[in-house]
Structure 1
């Protein structure tokens, strides 16, 4: 790994506190909720949401301070995502994926970072890690052709980080990489027709013989082990462990969605609704309701505590200059599965409490349910895979089932 230097953020004193940024996100919840139906119908985040998040500086939380960003930590980024998802799952998901893509640009050489933010510190980035492309080696870089599905945030970004095979002059794959490409060099195919997270605009990006210079190609294989090409090695945020960050951000919106579901059910119960076909004219007085709401709240707390523990481990290791150890990285993959499963179980209990009315189109609870069920099925979130690889690590089994640890 590259030796640590003593670079320090030039605008550290001006950076809002973590609590202030989370409060800004919380203040946007009413707006995001009011626009949630429109976001879903349009299959993209409404511009009013985009502009409000931009005005709150929440797209700059993962951008280097030397390039006009806030350069916070992973914990802050996750807490912001949770609050945004209390308002709208699609908006939170797209924002989260753009912010983590911006974090990845902080791992690239300075020359690439300057190209993204040198003239526009508000530029946004989307990303797809899967190398669904072909590459051809030419002088000074690679020529890339490919299609990348599920590109969340692509409708609101100026750049994209896209997975590619890195090949030699003979066309033989020698590495897996991420190519940083301006959106002006890509086309967007309208392919995002789904049951949940409809408003994320996670369409398909297409490249046709696009030249990508060497300085805009990141070795994913080396990055998994903490070998990042950025020259600014004193910046703790960009020493964070790659796969734990990429996996953990995916469940922050799920925690926020579960919290939103709890708030919806609490508000409904406060109105004094009863339980159909029983003598309970106030559901809140029924032990079954009390038990299920308490169990749901505890599951949400469990999810958030696992998420924040993992984020704290990542942040502490990055601050110390040590790359997060393998066993902890493996545990974070399991933590991600625990968060997703706990959130799903919590919302399932809340749906039981709220009853069949939960699925009325006019009820926001059905959108929360669909968004959570969709987002929690992301391939990197899969609980069984996370538990299996963590179990192998715990038992000292050397052979693993994925490189993404």
Structure 2
């Protein structure tokens, strides 16, 4: 066990009935999500009626603080919701994961910022997209900052009323002293519709643009302090005391779990009526090799689910025990998250190979699952390679080198 780390009693972050009810509604919507996935992919937009149907379940507001009518969801609950969406539409699940991240971070901010978003004017249905990259300039002025910049990729921004966007925080001399997130109404932003990609097409992850937008101090969230648990809000729920970066990257794991299950569901369902070309098998399901692929895929996905559950419970247990995990432990979580995503990517490759060339047809949901998951797997927050490298350095006593690979975790 790395120095400074301690073993925590495991607190089971159970999925509450209110969240389970949302998941049940999402399960009922799954046929609609599957059916509309092709349309969203082709039009590069989630159909509005589909988005509205999912929003009506409460799926986008689970991480809003309870005082505003939300459920202050824990990580396992966030997984349950995004997983359920991902079994129908991976792109929509990814949008959910990003908007859920925006809601959770807003719940850590100054109380005035929370009121701006969810108070009487906005209400619980105000959605917040988030981009951490500080691809911008922020000039200190009286009462706040004047912000100019461009941020890719703005997942969820086309549905959001607010965006959290990375900015450099400067002192009076104009020197950069920190990084932060600026909470800006999307009505004050423009966008470049440049999201032309192989996967996750319907997320409409456009580039957002700010031109000399004023952001008051109370809508700026300093990131260096946040990484070590220095939050500004005072919401009492345990979910607002969890480790910052792991809580964010774990919100992106749920969609992968859902897409993995969707791939197994599809390939299994087709196996009773699909032959194996150039063999005597009239049904894939009769083949021992095919059966082995399905068995292996289920074992791998079940293992990924268990690891995700373990990390979620560790995050929750620490918050309940008022313990903030040190860097080494956070890196371990990061490596495990990468393993989950990597495992599901390899599992889907095996499944699409076993299913056959028909899985690559435009009309097949399987090729969309494959493209969406592979695209999402490249996200820097859950990229397996960097997580493995940093964790290996930790295990070999080279934390300083690990901080070079992943300085902010």
What TM-score do you get using the length of structure 1 for normalisation? 0.93
Counterparts of 1:54 and 1:355 in 2: how far apart (Å)? 36
Contact 1:303 1:342 (C-alpha < 8 Å) held by counterparts: yes
Mark the runs of 5 or more structure 2 residues left unpaired by the alignment. 1-15
Contact 2:108–2:240 (CA under 8 A) maintained in structure 1? yes
Which residue number in structure 2 is paired with residue 367 of structure 1?
368
Deviations 1:40-74 (A, max 9, x none): 12212111122112211111100011012121211
- What residue number does 2:295 align with? 294
Deviation at 1:117, TM superposition (A): 0.3
Question: Aligned residue for 1:137?
Answer: 140
Q: Residues 49 and 91 of structure 1 are in contact (CA less than 8 Å); yes or no, is this contact kept in structure 2?
A: no
Q: In structure 2, what is the equivalent of residue 319 of structure 1?
A: 320
Q: How far 1:22 sits from its partner (Å)? A: 2.3
- Per-residue deviation, 1:327: 2.8
Shift of 1:292: 1.0
Which moved further from structure 2: 170-179 or 234-243?
A: 234-243
Aligned to 2:253, what secondary structure does the other structure show? Answer: helix
Deviations 1:15-37 (A, max 9, x none): 84332232222222112112111
Q: Distance in 2 between matches of 1:72 and 1:137?
A: 35
Length, aligned pairs only: 389
With 92-101 and 277-286 compared, the bigger mean Cα shift is at: 277-286
Q: Hey, what does 2:342 align to over in structure 1?
A: 341
Pick the aligned partner of 1:240 from 239, 242, 245.
242
Worse-superposed segment, 92-101 or 276-285: 276-285
Q: Which blocks of at least 5 consecutive residues in structure 1 are unaligned?
A: 1-14
Q: Residues 146-174 of structure 1: CA distance to partner in whole angstroms, max 9, x if unpaired?
A: 00011100110000000000001221100
> What is the CA deviation profile of residues 45-104 of structure 1, one whole-angstrom value per residue up to 9, with x for unaligned ones?
111122112211111100011012121211101111011000001111111110111100
1:3 corresponds in structure 2 to none
Equivalent residue, structure 1, for 2:256: 254
In the alignment, is residue 223 of structure 1 matched against residue 233 of structure 2? no
SS in structure 2 opposite 1:270? coil
Are 1:251 and 1:376, in contact at CA under 8 Å, matched by a contact in 2?
A: no
Match of residue 69 from structure 1: 70
Contact 1:302/1:342 (CA < 8 Å) preserved in 2? no
Partner of 2:109: 108
Q: How does 1:149-228 map to 2 (within 5 A)?
A: 149-228=152-231
Aligned partners of 1:325, 1:309: CA distance in 2, in Å? 17
Cα distance between partner residues in 1 of 2:62 and 2:55: 11
The 8 Å contact of residues 130 and 163 in structure 1, kept in 2 or not, is answered as yes
